[in-house]
Every structure is written in structure tokens, then in C-alpha cells.
Structure 1
Amino acid sequence: MQAGQTPVLVMNTAPERQSGRKAQASNIAAAKTVADVIRTCLGPKAMLKMILDPMGGILLTNDGNSILREIDVAHPAAKNMIELSRTQDEEVGDGTTSVIILAGEILAHCLPLLERSVHPVVIIAALNKALKESLQVLKNISIPIDTSSDKEMLSLIQTSIGTKLVTRWSDLMCRLALDAVRTVSKDDAGTKTIDIKRYARVEKVPGGEIEQSKALDGIMLNKDITHPAMRRRINNPRIILLDCPLEYKKGESQTNMEISKEADWARAQEIEEDQVKNMCLKLIEFKPDIVITEKGISDLAQHVLLKANVSAIRRVRKSDTNRIARAVGATIINRVEDLRESDVGTNCGLFYIEKIGDEYFTFLTKCKSPKACTILLRGPSKDILNEIERNLADAMSVARNVIFNPTLTPGGGASELAINVALTARARAVVGAESAVFSAVADAMEVIPRTLCQNAGGNPIRILTELKAKHATGENSWGVDGETGKPVDMKVYGLYESSSVKIQTLKTAIEAARVLLRVDDIVQAARKDQSSGGNVEQGPPPEEAMEAQ
């Protein structure tokens, strides 16, 4: 391929209407193709994908969800598969590559059953039973974890980012993720809430070294004070948060003023100034050190606040204001007249402004029990910082899942092999089509350890045979060492994954297989042509091509 060309993956299938067996085979082929695209992205020896976006930017990642989000597909079944990865990412934040590979493999193993005229409804019913059996196996081999133990939690988070680009700085990244999750966790009347999306913000500042990244015990904003003479460092500041402008409120669009005398114009200006001054004086009554507003601050308001030795920051995003409110214990006020002493934030230990690179950043740190935080990431380039942010989001999601469901399952394909052995035994106990479906799901489960082995350069046939022999004797913790591709006991190796991720992966993969097996017709909807008086026109044939844009 020449430099500058975009990689294109084409699936050649007939563009006309497809129904029955043909539609199912087409859907399975599309799902398998999507799975093959990201198969090499599994495990610690995963390869990276370089994706060129239409604007000429580059995405360099081995995160399944990030890759599939950038790929442009036309086939409806392929789109359905890509949605799986997004669902997995939103639900548990990890396992986005595994779920696609597993779903594609389950469908591929169901294709021979369809060709032998086994009805899809029979296959779907058996898949439900196989899922129930698999979840029971996971429950039997899972072990509890002490979420208050730093060592156990860091070991678990290390597993989730051991396959990522940031694995070189894994100790630092695991600590950042754990600190962030513990900071934002909140217990309301016995109900635990951990909203990392809203309250654990990642700020990426290119420059410096990755080792300089840190989780702040407070908030950082890409803002500077409005007036250069205002204080830039304050210990134990009193903070007021506003959702209203500190400037004269103009009338609505229909408001008109007709002024005939010069004195009246001066009086109108005076009234405007008085209104702004009164708002500022009302704020100053509460002796604040910092005023932060989501709207604007006029020059006059800045002058009045400066004379009272108050620092001001304006046009702060709503999401940032919400995090500051949680961190410093303040309440966001919509009208200055409604301000009360209890609304002033006093939990912040230090306010200061620092220049990093070309920009000024505001820090509100040393907060007493902040329920929101900012993670400051430093690194050599934007591309690397974006990848670190994606990996860190996975690590935080894993830490959050474990707090809600404190159980672990062995990693390295050990869980999948345990399910494989259990379903193979179950297949022998039942008869007919159900037995074939159990065998198909059992064979599909081998894809995870096999892919791990292939990506690490091992011999999959010999190693899988060896591992199956171990599992057959009840040694459920044996899996593949992703670094060397050799069999290893996960208890000794210390590689355990969150049960939540494994359970969600199985449920999503089998649910996807069930949905695609139920489809027996692919028809393009007709489109009304507005220009020709509402004549019905057949739309263009569906292009069954996938382009990595």
C-alpha cells in the first residue's frame, strides 16, 4: 500500500435483497470480518492500529472500541457488531475487544448448524441455556477481593492496562486510577455512587514527561484570573460559585430607549453601573476570596472586586463548576440576591495559578474530602496523551466495577477454558441440536486463549491441548501467559480480572449472536423522491464495504 492511502477492507457479497439462509450467512460473514479486524489487538503483545481520519489526523491505538468507532461500515450486521463494543465500553469500560471476537466466533460456529437446517429458534433457545451454564461456571471459579487493600486493587487494575500502550508506566497509571475512583466515590444513605465520567476529569497537557502525571486532591481548570492585579495564590480561600453574569442585564429584544437629553443618557449609564456595583457589594458582604462564574464579568465588576481583594474567574464550563462545587463544598447560585453563608465553599486548602507550557491553569487543591478530582496527564504528544486517556478510562472503570461487585475471575483465557470444559461435558449429556449448540459455544470460547497465544507468538494447538488437560482435572486457574504464549497458573502468575467485565462480555456476545440469528431478511427501505412529485424510488444498493477512514 502506498503512503497516504487509507486502508480499505472490502466484503464482496451480492448487493441485491437477501433473505433466509443467504441473509444469515451474509450477517455472520460481516460479524466475522469485524472480529478479524481487531483480533490482533488482544493481549499484552497486541499490535497497534493506525487509523487515518478524514481530516488527516492519526489515531494510534489497540483499544477495540476506539478502533471500531473510527471505522466506517455500510453492512447493517457490521454496524450491529460495532454497537456491541460501544455498549460494553459504556457498561463496564473494559473487554471491548474480547466481546467482538467472542461474538464473531460464536456466530461462525453457529453457521454449520444453519447449513444443516437447524432452525434459528432452536439455536437461540440452546444459546440461552449455554449462557446460563457459562455464568454459573464463572460464579464457581470466581474469588472475592478486598476493595480496601491497595495491593489487591492495584494488581487487578494492572491486569486491565497490561494489554495497553501505557503498560510501561502501569504502576503510576494504576495508582492514578485507584486514587481517582476512591476520591469520587460517594455513599448516600447506604447507596454507593461512583460517577467517574462526570466527576473525574482528565486534563491533557502536552509537554513534560509521563512520570509527571498526577491525580490532584481537587480541581484544575484551563483558566486565568480576569484581572492581572488580582491575587494568584490564596491559602484556605472562601469560594463563591455563580451561574449568573456580573454585568448589566440588558432588556429583552423588543426593549427600546429613546433619550432626548444628554443628562438622561448619563443617568441611564449611572443606573447600569449602580446595578453592577450592588451585585458586587452583595457578594463582598460574604468576604469571599474567589468568585467563579459560568457567565461574563464586566470591567466595572472586576474593578469593584479587585478593590475588595477578591480574585475572579469567568466563563467556566457548567461541568467544571459542578465539579468545583463538589470539591470545595459550595453551592452554585443563580441570583446574587439568593446567596447565603452556607453556599460559600470553604473546603479548599490552596488556590493558585500556574503556567504550564503556553497556557495558564487554575488549581484548587488540598481539598478536605473532595468528591471530585482532576487527573493531570503530561506526555510528549497529543496522540500519546489521547491513548493514555483511553487506557486510564478503562482502568478507572475496572476499579469502579470491582467496588460494586468485589469478585475476580482468572484471566489469560482461563475462565473461557473453564467454560469450554463445562459446556463440552454438558454437550455430551444432552441430545440433538442442543448438544451441537453447546459444542459450538464451547469451541467458540477457545478463541480468547488461542488469540492470546497467537499474538504472543506461541503454538496454539500444543498449548490449548495442554491447558484443556489441566482444566479437565479441575485446575481451573490455568491460562495463557500473554507475554510468552506459554501455559501458566494464574494463582501463581497473579492475573485476575473483574467478574463484572467477564459476565458482561458473555451476556453481550451471546445476545448479539441471538439477535443476528433472528434476522432472516435484509431489505433496503424505499425512499421518496421529493423532486419528482412523491414517486417512490428504490434507494441505492447497500454497499457491503468497510472502510477504515
Structure 2
Amino acid sequence: MQAPVVVMNTQNGDRQIGRKAQLSNITAAKTVADIIRSCLGPKAMLKMLLDPMGGIVLTNDGHAILREIEVAHPAAKSMIELSRTQDEEVGDGTTTVIILAGEILAQALPQLERNIHPVVIISAFKRALADALAIVQDISRPVNTSDDESMIDLIESSIGTKTIARYSALMCSLALRAVRTVSQDQSFASNTHLTNGAPSGSPSKKPASAPKVHEVDIKRYAKIEKIPGGEIEASRVLDGVMLNKDITHASMRRKITNPRIVLLDCPLEYKKGESQTNVEISNEDSWNRILQIEEEQVKKMCDAVLSVKPDLVITEKGVSDLAQHYFVKANVTALRRVRKTDNNRIARAVGATVVNRVDDLQESDVGTGCGLFEIEKIGDEYFTFLTKCKNPKACTILLRGPSKDILNEIERNLQDAMSVARNVLFHPRLCPGGGATEMAVSVRLAQKAKSVEGVAQWPYKAIADAMEVIPRTLVQNAGASPIRILTKLRAKHAEGGSSWGIDGDTGNVVDMKEYGVWDPEAVKSQSIKTALESACLLLRVDDICSAKSAKQGGGDMGAGGED
């Protein structure tokens, strides 16, 4: 009779070990979610972060906060990774995804206490995820990406909760113009090349069903340059590229109209020995000959560059004094030690090719797409402007503002706005904002839960309850009564009004169709997917083990090496 009892105790013991790890993970996830819960919505509070160097960051951007804070718990680290994933994937909704994941795990706790096996809970969560994504798709509506007004309204809803909300009209137009500039060659030209014939040099005609947008690389080709000083209203998108560089020689031209531009990825200096070369000189003539060879080599390089008649030479490496002398004689301006990323951006903006060897330079490599090259002094520094480009496929956003802290916050907010604009070009569908989408998912999942059989009904219903956390947090942050407002909102959704949400300023229930707050469907779907998948992952953990350190693993020799 004793044996079965022992077995039962062992199972309970195993379950207790697993429960301990799950409770620890859930607590850590809830703690991370609680840190940034007050950062959701237009009435969001700011966090002041102190970095180890003594600097401060003032922001309510969930991703920026979580990136700066230091945590030791593995589950908390996993949660912080979520916001990074969300930021890289869609650029917005980083706060939402953390709050949602924390609440889903909190709702999983009562299910574990009911002794429902984590695998059963996870399968119910996966089923709820599939249904939730179908509901988001159902309540979304298409948007015309070429209509500036509706696009600006959409971007405004993404930055209405940020510090720069008071400059939202300016920032939205900056974000939209930057994204349009970068995506011009793919999204808009791709529609025309099907009707006007393939562009010259294209390998083959694309089928009529080709997607509209192939690539909108805002990280690489839409650079934000921050210059403290001046007013925020003076910020603008340049139809070209700006560099923090000055000319190499005082006699070179500082302003050129319609310049011919050559981009190089090689030094205009004499070539040094590739390996550690030793040269022994026995007489003075040999020394003079070595110097003469160096000069001849530099002259040959300069002649190769000047043969294509450039007005402006930009290189990623150095330019020797002798090369500068030849360029000044030929009335050519030179910039040196330009970053590789900036050089690639210039190449796209002016239609030039970055050349690795001056001997390979051809007429076709010269960029002629720039209308104006000039160097301006802003504050104490000189900046190079390559503007009035005919078809700039890359751009620079010039931000002005009173201090570095404010400029950094504006940059973070502007990145979110550009990500939203890019997402809508890829997936031109919108969902109602202000917690309306989450509430619609919650109400419909609660109705569907009745048809779920067995114990899986409880965890399925838990997802419906967890989705309410977004509208509830919006109401709390606006200082209104959550119970009364949520009951009112639930009633509206039960009647079929899936576009009703929360006015983040007052905390009242409003119809988002009239209020005009919309979010890209890509952001909403990604938030729900990321939050649910990570909750499932953390629920599957039943023990937390510490890995063996290198000192223990290496034996005496390893220990000696460490010392």
C-alpha cells in the first residue's frame, strides 16, 4: 500500500519544483510590466534614467527605458528582449507588448493553481492567439497610402503619446516625407515601371502581381542628424545628405552648383608596404628616388581621378597634402575620412558608385544627381550639405532643439513615427486605437470561450481577461475610474461597436472612427503574437539552473589561467 503513496509524493514534489520556477518567472515578468505601465497613452509619465557615466535620459518610450535598466532575473531579461524584438520588427508598440505579456502571465497563475498542466494552458493560449489574430484582421480596414492627410492622421496617433505631441504636425510631415523619399524607387516607381516599360538596365520585367514595396530601409538611408541650438520648428528633411565635415584645404570651393561627384573607398596617399617592409638606404640619391616614387604614385592617382573631370571628391580614407595640392590646382574640392554609411547614403542620393581603386574609375561612376554642394557653419562646427538632388533615394532629417536631452527624445519619437509610416506602406491596413482593438479581441474571445470544451476553457478565457489590460491602463493613466469606464466600454463592444475605445486625455469612452486614432494592423498583430508566444515560452520553464563557470570547468589549469 505504501508504494503508490511514495509515487504520488514524488509527483507532487516535481510539481512543486516546477511551480516554484513558474512563480518566479511570472513575478519577474509582472515586475518589468509594472515598471513601464505608467508609460502608456498620451498622459504617460516620464522615467528618469541615470546611466553609469552620470548622464540622464528622460523618456516615456518603453523600449528606451528597458534598454537602459539592468536586471538579473533571466525571465525579466527575456521580457526586455521582447521590446527589442518589437522595436526591430515594427518600431512601435514596445510598451504595449510588455504590459500585455506581463498580464497574460499574471492571468496564467490562477490556472496553474487549479493544477491545470502548463502544456494544456499553452495549447489553449495558442488557440486563443489564432482566434485573436483573425479578430484583428476582421476589425481592420484598408488605407490609401498615397493620401497624405490620412497618413499624417495615422502617424499622429503613434506620436500623440510622446513628448513631441505638441509638434506633431511638423514631426508627422517629416516622418512621412523621409519614408516616402527612401521608398520612392520601390513603392511608387514599381507601379509605374509595369505600365511605362521596365527601366533601362533591369534584368527582367516583373509580373503584374509583384508586391508594391520591396524594401524601405529607414535605418540605413534616413539618417537623423541632431544639432543643439535653434528652434524645434527649424527641423526639416533635406532632399539629399548632410555630413559633419569640412573641406581639407582652405583654398577649395565651399559652394558648387550641379557638382560632378566622385566617391572613393581608397586613400589618396602614397602606398605603404603591405607587410612590415624594411628598406635599407646606402646613399642620398636612393632616398631622393624613394620620395620621387611616392610623389609619382600620388600624382598618378590624382590624374586618374581628375580624368573624369570631377568637381567634388569624397573618400572614406585619407587625402595626402600633395593630393590636396593637385586638387586645388584643378579647382576640385575634396572631403576625407567620411563614414562608410554616409558614403553609401551619398551614393544613393546623387546616383554615384563608390569606387575601390582609382584606376577603375569610369564616367558612369560619377554622380550628377546633386543640385547644390555647400558648406555651412552652424554653431561652432562646419557641415557639408549635398541638397537639391533630382531623385534622392536617401535623405537626412536635420533636427534642431534647445538641448541634447530633448533632441535625443525627439529622435526616439521620430524613429517610431517613421516605423509606423513604413509599416503602413508594407501592410496598408489600420485598426482602431485607444485600446479598442484589444477590447474587441477580449469581448469576442470571451464569447468564443463558451464553445471551448474541457479545462482549456479557463486559460482561453484568461486571454480574453488579459486583453483588457490595455484599455484599463489607459483609463488609469488618464486618472479616471477604471471599473465604471471599462463596464461602459464592454457594453459598447457587446453591442457590436468594435471601434469604441478610450480617449487617453480624458479617460472617457469614444468612437475611434470619429476621434480619429488608428494604429497599423502590423503593430497590433505583432504585439499580440510576441506577448502570447513569450508567455507560452516562460510557462514551459519548470526549473532555473545556473550554468557552470569557466573556473570550475577548467580544473587546476583553468583556475591558474584565470588567476
TM-score by length of 1: 0.93
Equivalent residues in 2 for 1:277-356, closer than 5 Å: 277-356=299-378
Instruction: Spell out, residue by residue over 1:56-83, the C-alpha distance to the aligned partner (whole angstroms, 9 max, x if none).
Output: 0001100001101111100010000000
Instruction: Spell out, residue by residue over 1:329-350, the C-alpha distance to the aligned partner (whole angstroms, 9 max, x if none).
Output: 0000011010000000000000
Instruction: Spell out, residue by residue over 1:160-215, the C-alpha distance to the aligned partner (whole angstroms, 9 max, x if none).
Output: 10011111110111011001100111327545210000000000101111111101
Inter-partner Cα distance in structure 1 for 2:549 and 2:171: 51
The Cα shift of 1:252 comes to 2.5
- 2:214 partner SS: strand
2:243 paired residue among 221, 228, 237: 221
Inter-partner Cα distance in structure 1 for 2:511 and 2:463: 24
1:543 aligns with none
1:387 aligns with 409
The Cα shift of 1:327 comes to 0.3
Equivalent residues in 2 for 1:168-247, closer than 5 Å: 168-185=166-183, 186-187=185-186, 190=210, 192-247=214-269
Q: Does 1:437 align with 2:464?
A: no
2:516 aligns with 494
Inter-partner Cα distance in structure 1 for 2:280 and 2:274: 16
The Cα shift of 1:430 comes to 2.0
Q: Does 1:71 align with 2:69?
A: yes
Inter-partner Cα distance in structure 1 for 2:236 and 2:318: 31
Inter-partner Cα distance in structure 2 for 1:443 and 1:403: 33
The Cα shift of 1:533 comes to 1.3
Equivalent residues in 2 for 1:51-200, closer than 5 Å: 51-185=49-183, 186-187=185-186, 190=210, 192-200=214-222
The Cα shift of 1:502 comes to 0.1
The Cα shift of 1:432 comes to 2.4
Instruction: Spell out, residue by residue over 1:77-116, the C-alpha distance to the aligned partner (whole angstroms, 9 max, x if none).
Output: 0000000000000000000000000000000001000011
8 Å CA contact retained: 1:233, 1:352:
yes
Inter-partner Cα distance in structure 1 for 2:274 and 2:83: 48
The Cα shift of 1:278 comes to 1.3
8 Å CA contact retained: 1:452, 1:485:
yes
Inter-partner Cα distance in structure 2 for 1:27 and 1:140: 34
Q: Does 1:416 align with 2:454?
A: no
Check 1:535–1:181 CA distance in 2 against 1; reply closer, same or farther (3 A cut): closer
Q: Which runs of 4+ in 1 moved over 6 A?
A: none
Inter-partner Cα distance in structure 1 for 2:51 and 2:63: 15
Inter-partner Cα distance in structure 2 for 1:275 and 1:524: 61
Inter-partner Cα distance in structure 2 for 1:271 and 1:84: 59
1:533 aligns with 556
1:48 aligns with 46
- 1:354 partner SS: strand
The Cα shift of 1:431 comes to 3.0
Inter-partner Cα distance in structure 2 for 1:417 and 1:528: 50
- 2:259 partner SS: coil
- 2:386 partner SS: strand
Inter-partner Cα distance in structure 1 for 2:293 and 2:345: 36
8 Å CA contact retained: 1:214, 1:375:
yes
1:541 aligns with none
8 Å CA contact retained: 1:19, 1:522:
no
**Number of residue pairs matched?**
519
Normalized per residue, which structure has more helix? 2
Inter-partner Cα distance in structure 2 for 1:23 and 1:79: 15
Structure 2 gaps, min length 5: 1-15, 191-205
More moved, 184-193 vs 198-207: 184-193
2:529 paired residue among 498, 502, 507: 507
Inter-partner Cα distance in structure 2 for 1:250 and 1:163: 56
8 Å CA contact retained: 1:237, 1:350:
yes
The Cα shift of 1:528 comes to 4.2
The Cα shift of 1:19 comes to 2.9
- 1:346 partner SS: coil
2:276 aligns with 254
8 Å CA contact retained: 1:134, 1:419:
yes
Q: Does 1:401 align with 2:418?
A: no
More moved, 434-443 vs 89-98: 434-443
The Cα shift of 1:120 comes to 0.4
Question: Could you say what the CA RMSD is over the residues aligned between the two structures, in angstroms?
Answer: 1.3
The Cα shift of 1:532 comes to 6.3
1:24 aligns with 22
Matched to 1:312, the amino acid is A
- 2:377 partner SS: strand
Equivalent residues in 2 for 1:516-527, closer than 5 Å: 516-527=538-549
Equivalent residues in 2 for 1:465-504, closer than 5 Å: 465-504=487-526
The Cα shift of 1:281 comes to 1.3
- 1:240 partner SS: strand
1:449 aligns with 471
Structure 1 gaps, min length 5: 1-17, 537-549
Identify which of structures 1 and 2 has the higher relative contact order when contacts are C-alpha pairs closer than 8 Å and 6+ apart. 1
Q: Percent identity?
A: 69
TM-score by length of 2: 0.91
Inter-partner Cα distance in structure 1 for 2:65 and 2:535: 21
Inter-partner Cα distance in structure 1 for 2:443 and 2:551: 57
Matched to 2:253, the amino acid is R
The Cα shift of 1:270 comes to 1.1
Inter-partner Cα distance in structure 2 for 1:254 and 1:390: 46
Matched to 2:49, the amino acid is I
- 1:287 partner SS: coil
- 2:227 partner SS: strand
The Cα shift of 1:471 comes to 0.4
